[in-house]
Copies of this chain bind each other. A is one copy, B any other.
Amino acid sequence: MLGLMQDWPLTVDRILDHADRWHGDREVISRSVEGPIVRTTWSQIHTRAKQVTHALIELGIRPGDRVATLAWNTGRHLEAWYGIMGMGAVCHTLNPRLHPDQIMWIASHAGDRIIITDLTFLPLVLEHMHKAPSVERIIVLTDEAHRPAGVPDSVFMYEDLIAGRPATAAWGQFSEDTACGLCYTSGTTGDPKGVLYSHRSNFLHTFMTLQSDVMGLSQRDTVLAVVPMFHANAWGLAFSVPAVGANFVLPGAKMDGAAIHELLEAEKVTMSAAVPTVWQMLLQHLDQTGDQITSVKRVVIGGSAVPEAIVRAFHDRFGVAVTHAWGMTETSPLGTLGTPTAAIAHLSFEEQLPTLLKQGRPPLGIDITLENDEGERLPRDGKQFGKLLVRGPTIVRGYFGKSDSAIDANGFFDTGDVATIDPNGFMQITDRAKDVIKSGGEWISSIDIENISAGHPKAALAAVIGVFHPKWDERPLLLVKLKPDVTADKQEFLDFLNGKIAKWWTPDDVVFVDDIPLGATGKIDKKVLRGRFADYVLPTIHPYTPKEEAAGEPVERIVTR
């Protein structure tokens, strides 16, 4: 028996319709790529997005076609998004931080017909677009007055393309399962893979994040989205902010500490979201200038583990609550969020801190679990770590253009992360699965050892990788880059680790290196390291093995078989 409630497909155009009808005069404030601050409203964004749809249809775009954007966070980018999605085409956000060859490989793989770009990236597009033969057109998010010299007439200037068009194009009226957005993950191995969001998944993600224990946005908020729209939907803010009708502040191309601080204060921002690096830059700026933050109440931080110093600085100096979040392109992206629960909310800040530094709990609509190599579920004891699996209506089930499923028999997607979950339900990422060292059937967290080792006074940087061992499969090898003009011996580092990790986690050898390679996102590139040390032979006798574990010694974070 079916219910008798209305058929109302969850298509994201309805979000902007709602903003237009009920929050029409709330503002969208952009730092334009041309320079000046541009103020507009949700109603104006709605009207102009409709004009974009009209223009795209005239350019021959049809439902299902991919239209790419290569652009900063601005009001125009937002209009292009909704203009594309509203008509049932797919908005493909290209990541300008990738190598031009990779960008064009992705555009070509997606079959993008149009690239909508900022002035910033126009030279890149013009030089490299021949590598993406599917691309027929370029639209630049500016006006004729800003057309750079030498750009051919075939390239449209956005303002002139949409000027005077009717705002009556029809939106929606298709299945909520229709594809809506496309975002490629830049995996460390293999070709980038495209996550194809549906209208339904983005709409449900919006509802999920609007819960007061999640992003908790209010109409009365003014939200600064530092996190880019090309990075997993700006963590959903491009949908959730119009959904509640908050003011939306978009930083354009300028994301240094001074520029962010200026926006925070001038626009009286109450909430913001960004990766730790951005906040580090802001805090450094505030250190140097002695400036204050006066209106911000909370910031959501994700993308990588948030350093304790950032949480403390926001709390102690500015009274700002930091909420740590975890997610990935494949999870739309929000997976977990560290809002304090009743179990910890009554504690002091110091007592809450270890929990606040974890990646948090899943809201309704997200199911996470930990699994060991044998496919067994692990308990939530905050110690045993396993593969982090995730399931829900906002989680990927396959990749664009690939026929194989990305989920297991139980419907779970393997995140590639390794994590613990504590008895209060707070998840903490402990490693990437490919970096975990599997020794005698037990798991050792490379990140834990290298974080501790990096705290040695003589260490500039430390990395831990697993290397082949004939008996235990793998054993940890500690690589240390020393500070300038410092010498050290191996035993100093082994002694430093003693008592801080389980004995059998102790690296079998320490190698001092001149250089530890970092990847594009600033993380240690372990793939390169593993290549360099592929043939490394461990000393025959090594200090500890799983079998030699002293009985009764506390064993942290090991997976029991």
Q: What is the interface of chain A, defined by CB distance below 8 A to chain B?
A: 1-8, 10, 14-15, 18, 21-22, 26, 63-64, 90, 175, 177-180, 195-201, 204, 206-208, 210-213, 216-220, 243-245, 247, 332, 339-342, 345, 361-362, 364-365, 367, 391-400, 407, 411, 413, 425
Contact = CB atoms under 8 A, between A and B. Distances in A.
Give the number of times this chain occurs in the complex, counting copies.
2
Contacts of A63: 1
Contact of A3 (B200, B345, B411): B200
A3 B208 contact: no
Contacts of A15: 364
Contacts of A64: 1
Contacts of A400: 4
B175 A2 contact: yes
A22 B425 CA distance: 6
Contacts of A392: 6, 8
A21 B244 contact: no
Find the residue from A4, A22, A199, A365 having the highest chain B CB count within 10 A.
Answer: A4
A45 B379 CA distance: 22
A213 B206 contact: no
Given A207-B208, A425-B22, A5 B90 contact: no
Nearest to A1: B64
A90 B1 contact: yes
Given A10-B393, A220-B340, 10 more contacts: A2-B198, A4-B398, A5-B397, A6-B391, A7-B397, A22-B425, A206-B364, A207-B365, A219-B339, A243-B364
A4 B407 contact: no
A3 B180 contact: yes
A397 B210 contact: no
Find the residue from A6, A10, A220 having the highest chain B CB count within 10 A.
Answer: A6
Contacts of A217: 212
Contact of A198 (B3, B199, B208): B3
Contacts of A208: 207
Nearest to A215: B212
Given A179-B1, A220-B341, A396 B21 contact: no
A216 B214 CA distance: 11
